[in-house]
C-alpha cells in the first residue's frame, strides 16, 4: 500500500517538475545561468529556501538531533545564523555588482584570472562535496520505498537531476525548486503536526516541544537505558568542537556559491533583499519544527522497540522494510529475547532514516508516509540541481569563457555547461555510493570548505579597499589546500579506504570544524600578503566604494 501511494505521488510530483523544466528550457547563457533576472521575489524566496534546505535539512538534521540531543543544536544555530549573515552582509552587495557567479565577482573585483580560477576550483570542491550528500539522500529514499539497492536509487536520482539542470538551466531549476519547496515543507509539517497531536495533544509541533514534558520523558528514558541524557550538553563534542562546527556551518552558509547565485535571478538589489526575507520565513517553518520532530521520533522508536519481545519487533512492518535496506540492524546479542536500545548496541539505526521512518513508526496513514518520501526527494533534488548549475557555471563561464576562450559563442558555452553537469553528476553519484559520512556530516564538510576558501574572499572583496589580488590568491590557496588536506586525512577511512584515519583531529578539532582553522589562515595570509605587496589601484578601490554605496545615494566629492 505504502509503495503504491509513494509511486503515485512521486510520479505526479516528478511529472510536474519535468513539465516545468521543459517549459522553461534555456536558450541563452543569461537564462541558463541567472534566469534572465526575471524571477518574482516570492518565487525566488521559495527557490532559495528549497535550494538551501537540502536533504541534510529534511532527512538528516532531525536524525542528527535525535541522536545528539542538545549537541545537535549546532546545525540549527550554524545554518540559520549563516543564512542571516549571507542575506544581510553579502548577497545585496554581490547583486549590486551584477555578475553571474561568485568567481565572476572575485575575478573582476581583483582583476585577476588566477583569483577567478581558484574561486572556480573552490566552487567545484564545495559543490561536489555537497551534492554527494544529496545523491545519498535520494538513494536512501528509493531504496526504502521502491525496495531497490541504494546504488540503483542513486543512479535514478542522477538521471533525474541531470535532466532538470541540463534542459532548463537556472530558469527551469528556479521554478522547479519553488514547487519543490511546497512539496517538502508540506511533507515535513503534516507528520510533525499529527505526531505532536498524538503524543502531547497539542497540534502545533513547536508548542508541543516547548510546553509539554516529552523531552524530559525522553531524557529520563535514555538515562534509564544507559544512553546519554537527551538534554545534557557537550556529551558528543567538546566545547571547542561545538564552537568550531557551529562557526564553520555559519561561515560556510555565507559562502555557498549555489545559494549566492540565487540573488542574481531577480531584477534589483531591493528584490534580492526581499527574496532573502521571504526565504528566511520559509526556512523558519522547517527549522523550528525539526527539533520537535527529532524528539518525537526518538521517543516513538524507543517505545516501539525497547522491552518488546524480539519476535514481535521482527514482525513490525516498518522494522522489516527498513532492515531490508541495511539501514536498520537488530541483534539479540545477550539472548534475552529482546532488542535492548541501551549501551549494548543491539539496535543500529542509520541517522538518515529517522525522518523517513517516523510516519511509519507513528502508524500514520500510507498517504502521509508517501508524502514524506516525495518531500525528501524534493529536498535532495532541488539542492542537487542548484549545485550542478553552480559547477557548470564555474567551468563554462568562469574558466572556459572568461579565462581560456573569450570569443566563445553562446552555443559553445551552453555545450560546455551541459557537459560539465553530466560529468559532475557522475562524480557526485560515486561519492553518494561511497559517502564519507551521514548526509548531514557530508554536507557539513562542504560548509567547512566554503568557509575556508570562498567566504573570506567575498567578505574582504566587499569591505577591504586595500585587499589586492596577491593577498586574495595567497589566502584562498592557503585556506583551500589546508582544509582539503585535513578533511582528507581525517576522513581517509571512507575516502581512501585506510584502516585507520591518517589524522584523528587537528588539536582537538574534528573534520566538520577544521574549516574554521582554514578560514582564519585565509584571512590572516590575505591581510598580511596584501599589506606587504603593492596597494590596489584607485580603480580597484572605486569598485569597493561602488559596491557598498546604496542605490540612489550620491556622494559629493
| Cα–Cα distance for residue pair 46/180, rounded to 1 Å | 9
94: part of which helix (H) or strand (E)? helix 91-97
> Does residue 268 lie in a domain region?
yes
Structural domain total, the chain: 1
Query: pLDDT value at position 194?
Result: 93
> Does residue 555 lie in a domain region?
no
Per-residue pLDDT of 162-195, as tens digits, reads: 776 777 667 777 888 888 899 999 999 999 999 9
> Does residue 224 lie in a domain region?
yes
For residues 151-172, one letter each, b for 16 or more C-beta atoms within 10 angstroms of the residue's C-beta and e for the rest, the string is eebbbbbbebbbbbbbbbbbbb
Note the pTM of the prediction, 2 decimals: 0.84
Q: What is the DSSP string of 188-245?
A: HHHHHHHHHHHHHS-S-HHHHHHHSSHHHHHHHHHHHTT---TT-SSSSS-HHHHHHH
> Does residue 101 lie in a domain region?
yes
> Does residue 324 lie in a domain region?
no
| Cα–Cα distance for residue pair 122/106, rounded to 1 Å | 12
Per-residue pLDDT of 521-542, as tens digits, reads: 999 999 999 999 999 989 889 8
Classify 467 as helix, strand or coil.
coil
Classify 420 as helix, strand or coil.
helix
Tally Cβ neighbours within 10 Å of residue 538: 8
| Cα–Cα distance for residue pair 52/413, rounded to 1 Å | 26
> Does residue 550 lie in a domain region?
no
Query: pLDDT value at position 513?
Result: 94
Model confidence at 556, in pLDDT bands (50, 70, 90)? very low
Classify 358 as helix, strand or coil.
helix
> Does residue 478 lie in a domain region?
no
Model confidence at 555, in pLDDT bands (50, 70, 90)? very low
Share the mean pLDDT of the chain.
85
| Cα–Cα distance for residue pair 252/442, rounded to 1 Å | 13
CA distances from 346 to 43, 68, 145, 261, 335 (A): 47, 18, 25, 46, 11
Here the cell at position 97 is 555588482
Domain ranges, residue 417: 2-307+351-433
> Does residue 207 lie in a domain region?
yes
| CATH code, domain with 116 | 1.20.1730.10
Per-residue pLDDT of 297-349, as tens digits, reads: 999 988 888 878 988 888 888 898 888 888 888 888 888 888 887 756 788 88
Question: Does residue 55 carry a pLDDT above 80?
Answer: no
Query: pLDDT value at position 175?
Result: 84
Amino acid at each position: 500500500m505504502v509503495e503504491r501511494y509513494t509511486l503515485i505521488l512521486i510520479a505526479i510530483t516528478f511529472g510536474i517538475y519535468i513539465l516545468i523544466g521543459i517549459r522553461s528550457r534555456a536558450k541563452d547563457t543569461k537564462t541558463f545561468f541567472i534566469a534572465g533576472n526575471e524571477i518574482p521575489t516570492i518565487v525566488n524566496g521559495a527557490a532559495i529556501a528549497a535550494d538551501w534546505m537540502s536533504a541534510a535539512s529534511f532527512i538528516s538534521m532531525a536524525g542528527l538531533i535525535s541522536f545528539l540531543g542538545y549537541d545537535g543544536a549546532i546545525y540549527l544555530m550554524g545554518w540559520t545564523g549563516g543564512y542571516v549573515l549571507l542575506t544581510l552582509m553579502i548577497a545585496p552587495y554581490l547583486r549590486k555588482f551584477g555578475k553571474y557567479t561568485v568567481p565572476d565577482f572575485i575575478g573582476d573585483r581583483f582583476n585577476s584570472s588566477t583569483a577567478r580560477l581558484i574561486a572556480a576550483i573552490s566552487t567545484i570542491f564545495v559543490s561536489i562535496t555537497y551534492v554527494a550528500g544529496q545523491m545519498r539522500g535520494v538513494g536512501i529514499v528509493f531504496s526504502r520505498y521502491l525496495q531497490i539497492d541504494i546504488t540503483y536509487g542513486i543512479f535514478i536520482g542522477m538521471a533525474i537531476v541531470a535532466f532538470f539542470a541540463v534542459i532548463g538551466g537556472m530558469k527551469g531549476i528556479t521554478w522547479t525548486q519553488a514547487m519543490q519547496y511546497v512539496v517538502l515543507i508540506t511533507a515535513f509539517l503534516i507528520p510533525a503536526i499529527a505526531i505532536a497531536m498524538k503524543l502531547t495533544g497539542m497540534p502545533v509541533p513547536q508548542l508541543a516541544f516547548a510546553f509539554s514534558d516529552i523531552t524530559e520523558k525522553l531524557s529520563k528514558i535514555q538515562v534509564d537505558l544507559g544512553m546519554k541524557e537527551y538534554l545534557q550538553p557537550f556529551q558528543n563534542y567538546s566545547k571547542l568542537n561545538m564552537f568550531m562546527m557551529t562557526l564553520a556551518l555559519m561561515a560556510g552558509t555565507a559562502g555557498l556559491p549555489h545559494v549566492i547565485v540565487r540573488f542574481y535571478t531577480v531584477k534589483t538589489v531591493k528584490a534580492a533583499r526581499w527574496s532573502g526575507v521571504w526565504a528566511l520565513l520559509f526556512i523558519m517553518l522547517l527549522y523550528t519544527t525539526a527539533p520537535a520532530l527529532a524528539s518525537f521520533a526518538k521517543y516513538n522508536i524507543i517505545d516501539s522497540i525497547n522491552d518488546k519481545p524480539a519476535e514481535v519487533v521482527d514482525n513490525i512492518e516498518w522494522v522489516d522494510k527498513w532492515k531490508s535496506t541495511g539501514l536498520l540492524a537488530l541483534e539479540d546479542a545477550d539472548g534475552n529475547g529482546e532488542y535492548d536500545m541501551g549501551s549494548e548496541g543491539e539496535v543500529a539505526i542509520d541517522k538518515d532514516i529517522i525522518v523517513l521512518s517516523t510516519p511509519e513508526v507513528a502508524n500514520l496513514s500510507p498517504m502521509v508516509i508517501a508524502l514524506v518520501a516525495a518531500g525528501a526527494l524534493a529536498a535532495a533534488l532541488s539542492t542537487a540541481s542548484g549545485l550542478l548549475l553552480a559547477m557548470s557555471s564555474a567551468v563554462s563561464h568562469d574558466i572556459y569563457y572568461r579565462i581560456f576562450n573569450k570569443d566563445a559563442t553562446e552555443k559553445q558555452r551552453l555545450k560546455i555547461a551541459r557537459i560539465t553537469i553530466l560529468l559532475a553528476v557522475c562524480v557526485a553519484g560515486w561519492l553518494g555510493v561511497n559517502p564519507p559520512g551521514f548526509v548531514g556530516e557530508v554536507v557539513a564538510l562542504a560548509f567547512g570548505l566554503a568557509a575556508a576558501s570562498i567566504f573570506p574572499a567575498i567578505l574582504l572583496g566587499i569591505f577591504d579597499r586595500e585587499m589586492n589580488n596577491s593577498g586574495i590568491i595567497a589566502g584562498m590557496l592557503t585556506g583551500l589546500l589546508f582544509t582539503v588536506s585535513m578533511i582528507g586525512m581525517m576522513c581517509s577511512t571512507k575516502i581512501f579506504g585506510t584502516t585507520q584515519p591518517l589524522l584523528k583531529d587537528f588539536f582537538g578539532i574534528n573534520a566538520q570544524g577544521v574549516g574554521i582553522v582554514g578560514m582564519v589562515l585565509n584571512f590572516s595570509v590575505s591581510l598580511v600578503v596584501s599589506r606587504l605587496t603593492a596597494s590596489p589601484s584607485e580603480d580597484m578601490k572605486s569598485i569597493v566604494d561602488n559596491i557598498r554605496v546604496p542605490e540612489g545615494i550620491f556622494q559629493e566629492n
